[in-house]
Amino acid sequence: MTTTIYHNPDCGTSRNTLAMIRASGEEPTIVEYLKHPPPRARLEQLIATLEIPVRALLRENGTPYAELGLADPKWSDGQLLDAMLEHPILINRPIVETPKGTRLCRPSELVLDLLDHPVSQFTKEDGEVVSHDRGGQ
């Protein structure tokens, strides 16, 4: 299995996550999910692997979340998936898959635990410096 990132190049968190992956020496498969949304079965598989409820993958800011009334608990998981597939911007990002696991990397430094050779220190686009405790690795 290679590293895959479900990426939005307009998102700073996603860009930082991709940069951390590359800084570790890996070149991931990049899925620009706004241009190429995952098929329904793949989205369901990602959610199952993440071990989160469907609703937990919904992005609210900068999306039609409020306009569509998705905060209402009346929506079934199937209906929420339909909304994400119709409006991929509703899918929170970045999602990263590696042989070590799958994770929604918000904040971006969560990716460090998924990498074989993470950098010990990384400076994000906004100047924030994050450190990775390798925990004896």
Q: Which of 5, 8, 11, 94 is catalytic?
A: 11
The C-alpha atoms of residue 119 and residue 46 are separated, in whole angstroms, by 26
Is 11 one of the annotated active-site residues of the chain? Answer: yes
Q: DSSP letters along 14-62, please?
A: HHHHHHHHHHTT---EEEETTTSPPPHHHHHHHHHHHT--GGGGB--TT
Which tokens is 120 given?
Answer: 């010990």
Pairing of strands 121-123, 129-131: antiparallel
Active-site amino acid positions? 11
